[in-house]
């Protein structure tokens, strides 16, 4: 069906044409008429399917009638992360060029007072992360009793981040008679439970089977030793030998590993930037901008930080760690192979990861092929070592260790979901009570090139810093005065 048949207003259709969209995506085709008919919608769709426009376009159409009152937003969109919230705000700017609507963003890490001032002026669309929204509400600066439409986006990620109790509280603050749009990429039982709690007689719109991976993405696994330095060596080799690598997102399970890997890649002179919850908002925004514009080729990120980011043409995704939850694998590799482009997703696997890999293969309903690593790996790995897969370590005295004895009780591989969840809840949850104080960043991703220290302590993976890299993978060097 063309856009013109969906029931959208002329102003919205003009904005859609200006955006260059010729036809609606399947989620837009199915969801937009239902939203305009004031039905509750349960949308099962991953990012990259056009789901943001599926709710933004009808909302703009509906908001053309009526006007906002002070401190009483007319519509509310809940997002799990600041970046997603900011992205939705950008969509309102893009599709709402012909509208004069007040859109406010309530996220942590930025000034509370500025947000408060905006609320006083009256808001048509409020886009918020749960913590900061509740902060405003508890301070009495926000009344949710005028909300006519509520969007709960990325519900499965909200669940992962422990936001469901907050969402339940927020749902009690908005009118029972509101319209609710609920989007999730997957439908685990807990999401089914909350969907039936929050939605009234919803229309179910599903655009792809939950947990399907993008067909245009070539997926493979590569074996590595268990030690972090061995994994870093494998990663560097993968980056250097990757075919058609334009840019890549590298995923770590925990934010502290993001920082370590980022520093290591920097030392090895890759053009790299980090994205995780301990960076303040301006550093995160700047990091993303640089990556989007192609000024930086590699982005090291945690699941939370990178969730749902719309970076249209990422050529490669590297999983530095196998994700603990198979769903995360689907989300991660969904960063590449978008919008009809082909993509490559490579996962580094240690001997401790085989169960997690089996769970991923079960979820996606297909085996993932193994590729050979040029880097030595554990001899106790379950996968048979293929001829040619091993080569001598590049430096005498460096060897792969079996690994088991070297791991402490809190080593990475042995951490359970509890730890992961704790790390994942990161900044957005800390918005509670933190008000305007942004956490001090513990990495400085935008720093210019550092001069290499004269006699650095030798880290196991520092040896091949001098290896030739394609120019675009080199981090920019600040010109000497």
Give dist(CA 122, CA 133) in Å, integer: 15
CB contact burial 309-322 (16+ within 10 A = b; e otherwise):
bbeeebbbbbbbbb
Strands of 248-252's sheet, edge to edge? 272-275, 298-302, 248-252, 316-319, 343-349, 217-223, 369-371
The CB-of-155 to ligand AMP minimum distance in angstroms stands at 15
Among 21, 26, 229, 313, binds ligand AMP (CB under 6 A): 21
Report strand pairing: 217-223 vs 369-371. Answer: parallel
335 contacts ligand AMP (rule: CB under 6 A): no
Interface size with ligand AMP, residues (CB under 6 A): 13
| Interface with ligand AMP in residues 180-219 (CB under 6 A) | none
| CB closer to ligand AMP, 228 vs 334 | 334
Write each residue from 76 to 115 as x if it is in contact with ligand AMP (CB under 6 A), else as -, in one continuous string: ----------------------------------------
75 contacts ligand AMP (rule: CB under 6 A): no
The CB-of-41 to ligand AMP minimum distance in angstroms stands at 15
What distance, in Å, lies between the first and last C-alpha atoms of the chain? 60
Part in contact with ligand AMP (CB under 6 A); list of ranges 24-32, 163-171, 406-414, 456-464 = 24-32
Among 9, 30, 34, 52, binds ligand AMP (CB under 6 A): 52
Token duo for residue 333: 């590799």
| CB closer to ligand AMP, 32 vs 381 | 32
Part in contact with ligand AMP (CB under 6 A); list of ranges 41-49, 65-73, 297-305, 380-388 = 41-49
Among 13, 14, 25, 398, binds ligand AMP (CB under 6 A): 25
Q: What is the secondary structure of 439-480 as a DSSP string? A: PPPS--TT--PPPPPSS----TT-TTTTS---GGGBPPPPPP
The CB-of-235 to ligand AMP minimum distance in angstroms stands at 27
Give dist(CA 125, CA 226) in Å, integer: 48
| CB closer to ligand AMP, 46 vs 253 | 46
Among 47, 75, 247, 315, binds ligand AMP (CB under 6 A): 47
Give dist(CA 372, CA 374) in Å, integer: 7
Write each residue from 294 to 323 as x if it is in contact with ligand AMP (CB under 6 A), else as -, in one continuous string: ----------------x-x-----------
| CB closer to ligand AMP, 90 vs 113 | 90
Q: Which phi and psi (to 5°) does residue 313 adopt?
A: -125, 70
Token duo for residue 403: 């690994």
53 contacts ligand AMP (rule: CB under 6 A): yes
Token duo for residue 348: 């580094």
Give dist(CA 218, CA 421) in Å, integer: 29
Element (H, E) at 433: none
Chain residues binding ligand AMP by CB under 6 A are 21, 24-25, 28, 47-53, 310, 312
């Amino acid at each position: 069906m063309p856009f013109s048949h969906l029931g959208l207003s002329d102003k919205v259709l003009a904005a859609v044409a200006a955006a260059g969209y010729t036809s609606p995506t399947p989620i837009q085709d199915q969801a937009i008429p239902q939203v305009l008919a004031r039905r509750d919608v349960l949308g099962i769709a991953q990012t990259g399917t056009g789901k943001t426009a599926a709710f933004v376009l009808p909302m703009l159409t509906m908001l053309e009638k009526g006007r906002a009152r002070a401190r009483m937003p007319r519509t509310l969109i809940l997002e799990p992360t600041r970046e997603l919230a900011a992205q939705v705000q950008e969509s309102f700017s893009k599709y709402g060029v012909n509208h004069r609507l007040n859109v406010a963003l309530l996220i942590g890490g930025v000034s509370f007072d500025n947000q408060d001032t905006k609320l006083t002026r009256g808001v048509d669309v409020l886009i918020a992360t749960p913590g900061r929204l509740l902060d405003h509400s508890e301070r009495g600066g926000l009344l949710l009793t005028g909300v006519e439409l509520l969007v709960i986006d990325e519900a499965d990620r909200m669940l992962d981040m422990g936001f469901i109790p907050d969402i339940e509280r927020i749902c009690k603050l908005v009118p029972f008679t509101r319209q609710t749009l609920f989007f999730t990429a997957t439908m685990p039982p807990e999401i089914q439970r909350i969907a039936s709690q929050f939605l009234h007689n919803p229309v179910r719109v599903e655009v792809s089977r939950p947990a399907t991976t993008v067909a245009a993405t070539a997926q493979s696994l590569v074996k590595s030793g268990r030690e972090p330095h061995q994994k870093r060596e494998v990663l560097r080799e993968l980056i250097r030998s990757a075919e058609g690598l334009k840019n890549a997102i590298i995923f770590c399970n925990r934010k502290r590993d993001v920082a370590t890997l980022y520093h290591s890649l920097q030392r090895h002179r890759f053009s790299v930037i980090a994205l995780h919850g301990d960076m303040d908002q301006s550093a995160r925004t700047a990091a993303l901008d640089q990556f989007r514009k192609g000024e930086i080729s590699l982005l090291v990120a945690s699941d939370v930080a990178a969730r749902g980011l719309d970076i249209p043409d990422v050529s490669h995704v590297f999983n530095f760690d196998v994700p603990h939850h198979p769903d995360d694998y689907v989300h991660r590799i969904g960063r590449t192979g978008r919008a009809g482009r082909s993509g490559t997703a490579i996962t580094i696997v240690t001997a401790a990861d085989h169960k997690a890999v089996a769970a991923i293969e079960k979820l996606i309903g297909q085996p993932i092929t193994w590729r050979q690593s040029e880097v030595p790996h554990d001899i106790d790995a379950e996968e048979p070592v293929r001829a040619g897969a091993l080569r001598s370590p590049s430096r005498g005295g460096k060897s792969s260790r079996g690994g088991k004895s070297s791991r402490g009780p809190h080593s990475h591989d042995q951490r359970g979901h509890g730890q992961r969840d704790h790390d994942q809840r990161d900044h957005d949850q800390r918005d509670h009570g933190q008000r305007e104080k942004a956490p001090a960043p513990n990495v400085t991703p935008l720093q210019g090139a550092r001069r290499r220290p004269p006699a650095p302590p030798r880290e196991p993976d520092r040896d091949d810093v001098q290896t030739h890299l394609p120019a675009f993978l080199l981090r920019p060097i600040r010109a000497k005065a």
